[in-house]
Every structure is written in C-alpha cells, then in structure tokens.
Structure 1
C-alpha cells in the first residue's frame, strides 16, 4: 500500500496512475485531475481537494474521513459502497455518478449537484444539504432527521417513506414536491401548508 502524508499537489494529472488502495493523510490537491483514474479502495483522512476532476474515476469501496472535496467534479464516477465520514463536499457535482451503497456520515453537502441521484434507504441524519440540488433524486425511505435541507431543490424528488422529522426545511418550494408517505413534524407541516397559502395560527 502506498502511503502519502502531508503532501501538496497542484495541477497534477493522476488520471493515468494506478492509485488503488493508496492512503492519503492530510494531503492537499489544487485543481488536480483524477479523471478515469483507478482509485479503488483508496483512503483519505484530513485531506483537501480543491476544484479537482474525478469524472469517470473508479472509486468504489473508497473511504474518506474528515476530507474536503470543494467544487470537485464526480460526473459518472464509480462510488459504489464508498464512505464519506464527516466530509465537506460543498459545491461538488455528482451528476450520473454511481452512488449505490454509498455511506454518508453527517458532513456538509451544501450546494452539491445530486440531481436524479439514487439515495434510497440512506441514513442521512444530520447531513447539511443547504441549497443542494436534489431534483429528481430518489430519497424513498431515506432517514433525513435533523438534516439541513434549507433552500434545497426537491422538485420531482421521490420521498415516499422518507423521515424528515427535525430537519431544517426553510425555503423549500413544496409546490412541486410529492410528500405522500413522508414523515414530518408539526413545524414542517406548517411550512408545507403556508407554501400553499394557508394561514396557520
């Protein structure tokens, strides 16, 4: 196993390197590309990836702990059974990424593009999805208790059986959200009714 500690990389192309099972500790990557790279089972801890390109990369079974992926591209990347533990992934794009079996433990996923993502039955408790684009995402039976969904785009998202109790839902446009079978608390129910013009006293 290759172990990299406290390294700094800028504008480096890792796409043609075999980094399978590599371990990165407190490393920083600025505008690097891992596009179509072999990153199976890599481990990152306390790393920072800023505006990096992971499009088409194979990252299945990778593990990331307290790592930041800021404004990164994950389009069509394979993240099958990957784990993100308390990571900051703000502004990143996961369009058409393979997310089956992914594990997300808390963390900040604000401003991310997760349009049409498959997140069924996921434990997403406490995750920050502030202004995230979840349009068309499949969140059926997902546990979103105490998550921050403020101003998130949930248009056409599938939420049947999802649990939203205790989640922040300010600014959600409920007019194009199907809430059938969704578990809500009283505060969220009031927000929903007010979106439809009801006067709740």
Structure 2
C-alpha cells in the first residue's frame, strides 16, 4: 500500500501500472495517462484529475470523497462497486464504462457522457446532472428526486419505476423517452402535458 499527499503530476504516464490499495490525498493530476491502470480499492480524498485518460482502467471497490475528475475519459473502464461521494465529474466521458454496483452520493456530474450506462436502482437523489447525456441509459427504479436534470438528454432512456419528484426538468424533451411507470410531481405533470400540446389553465 502507498500513500501520496499534496503531490502534483502533469502529463505523467501511469498506464498499465499497479496502483491498487493506494491512498491519495489532495493530489493533482493534469493530463495524465491511466490507460489500463489497476486502481482497485484505491482511495482518493480531495484530489483533482484534470483531462486524464482512464480508458480500460480498473476501479473495482475504489472510494472517492470530494475528489474532482473533470473532462476525463473513462472509455471501457470498470467501476464495479466503486463509490463516489460528493465528487465533481463535470465534462467526463463514461461511454462504454461498466458502472454496475456503483454508488454515487451527491456531487456534480453535469455535462457528462453517460450514454447507454446502467444506473438502475441507483440512489442519485440531489446530485447535479445538468446537460448530461443519458441517452439510452438504464435508469429503471432509480431515485432521481431533487436531481438537477436541466437540459439533460434522455432520448430512449429507460425510466420505468424511477422517481423524478422534485427534480429540475427545464429544457427536457418529454417526448424523447417513455414515461410509463415514472413517478412525477404536479409541476412536472403540467410540463408533460404542455410538451404534448395541451393548454393548461
């Protein structure tokens, strides 16, 4: 096990490295390469990863608290049972990533690419997903209460059994996904009706 505190790295190649069971506190990684890196059970706290490439990396059972992964790429990464608590993931790309069993508690995931990912039964309450691309994602039975989904793309997303009450849904195209079995509040119901051309007095 290793521990790094307040270290800074720029354009360092960590690809294929074995960084399992490590602990990172307050570290900054800018444009670093973590392709295929083993990051299982790693713990990060207050770290910043800026424009880093985590393609094909393994994050199994890792824990991240108040860390930031901004404009990072997670193509093909395995985040099985990883946990993110109050993290900033703005602009990151999770296309092709495995998110089964992931735990997300709060945080800002705005402008992320979450197309076709599996977030079924996830408790996402209160997090920010502004302008996120959730097209064709699986959000069945997810708790989306008080989530900021302003401008998010939900084209063909599966939301059966999801709870959207209290969520911010400005600039959402309700016609782009199936609302069958979705729990919504009165304000959202009015907006749904208007999106289908109804005049609500």
TM-score normalised by the chain length of structure 1: 0.99
* 1:172 is the counterpart of 2:168: no
* 1:156 is the counterpart of 2:184: no
SS of match in other structure, 1:9: strand
Partner of 1:22: 22
Alignment of 1:134-153 (within 5 A): 134-153=134-153
Q: How far did 1:17 drift?
A: 1.9
Partner of 1:118: 118
TM-score normalised by the chain length of structure 2: 0.99
Q: How far did 1:16 drift?
A: 3.0
* 1:196 is the counterpart of 2:191: no
Q: Which runs of 5+ in 2 are unaligned?
A: none
Partner of 2:93: 93
Q: Which whole-Å CA distance do the structure 2 matches of 1:127 and 1:149 have between them?
A: 9
Q: How far did 1:199 drift?
A: 1.3
Let me know the Cα RMSD of the aligned residues.
0.6
Partner of 2:102: 102
* 1:57 is the counterpart of 2:53: no
* 1:73 is the counterpart of 2:73: yes
* 1:44 is the counterpart of 2:44: yes
Q: How far did 1:162 drift?
A: 0.1
1:126-156 residue CA offsets vs partner (Å, 9 max, x unmatched): 0100000000000000000000011100010
Q: Which whole-Å CA distance do the structure 1 matches of 2:148 and 2:121 have between them?
A: 18
Q: Which whole-Å CA distance do the structure 2 matches of 1:48 and 1:195 have between them?
A: 40
